[in-house]
Amino acid sequence: MKLTPAFFDYKSTIMAARDLLGKKIVHETENERYEAYITETEAYLGKDDEAAHSYGNRLTKRTRIMFQSPGHIYMYQMHQQVLLNIITMPEGVPEAVLIRAVEPVHQLAEMSRNRGGRTGREISNGPGKLTQALRLTMQDYGKTIFNSNIWLEEGKIPQRIESTVRIGIPNKRLATFYPLRFTVQGNPFLSGKKGLMDPHSGWRSLPVAEGTELLYNEESGEEA
């Protein structure tokens, strides 16, 4: 089932970042249909978050899409990589969630080719890696997940969600230490994840009414 705009109703950006874990992202191109489960996110809290591009309600050609309604896609380039963000708040409130890592579901071989032949977790355990794997580009800037060839569906439920500081946020004063990175604990497709692949992947086998358990960990990894 595809997500509708109601997914964002009454949610803070932090809640959205948690609730996006396990959702299936789908990118349908002319020749392929890529699918992956979201395993890692980061929340960016707009005008009060010095790590956000829209800190202080900064409105530029790049950030203008952040002021649009929830579900709009904000793509930007950093270190020659393209990163995927989803706007979360009502129009005029420039907050977003960065999708940092995904677990491939469909077209695994093609995703590997898109990543230059890399395999295993290296296909999509980082924000620039996943956009390469899913063939997402700057041309997707400004689309929405509700009426484009990129959308989200219900997927899996994490066994546990872990919270850490965000990755690559130096010298942003208090914002450097905000625990706004959320991961599916135990999943091998996480930024900087190394070691053996976890066969259980961190997912629940069945949905549960009480939701997921949130853990806090002061340590954070680095993208490989």
Q: What is the pLDDT of residues 82-141, one digit of tens each?
A: 999 999 999 999 999 999 999 999 999 999 999 999 999 999 999 999 999 999 999 999
Cα(37)–Cα(27) distance, rounded to whole angstroms? 12
Write out the two tokens for 5.
């705009």
pLDDT band with cut points at 50, 70 and 90 for residue 80: confident
DSSP code for 147:
S
Higher pLDDT: 197 or 31? It is 31
Check residue 208 and give its pLDDT: 47
Query: What is the pLDDT, as a whole number, of residue 11?
Result: 96
Res 224: pLDDT? 31
Q: What is the pTM of this model?
A: 0.91
**Per-residue pLDDT band at 223 (split at 50, 70, 90):** very low
Residue 64 CB neighbours (<10 A): 14
The answer to whether 147 and 156 have CB atoms below 8 angstroms apart is no
Q: CA torsion, points 40, 117, 197, 201, in degrees to nearest 10? A: 40
Average pLDDT, the chain: 91
- CATH class label, 5-157: alpha beta
Domain boundaries, the chain: 5-157
Instruction: Return the C-alpha torsion angle 187, 193, 194, 198, nearest 10.
Output: 0
- The per-residue pLDDT for 59 is 97
Output the pLDDT for position 201.
84
CA atoms within 13 A on the CB side of 131: 23
- For the stretch 158-210, pLDDT in tens is 999 999 999 998 889 999 999 999 999 999 999 987 776 776 689 987 544 44
What's the confidence (pLDDT) of residue 215?
Answer: 52
Weakest-pLDDT range from 41-45, 69-73, 189-193, 209-213:
209-213
Question: Looking at residues 52-79, what average pLDDT do you find?
Answer: 96
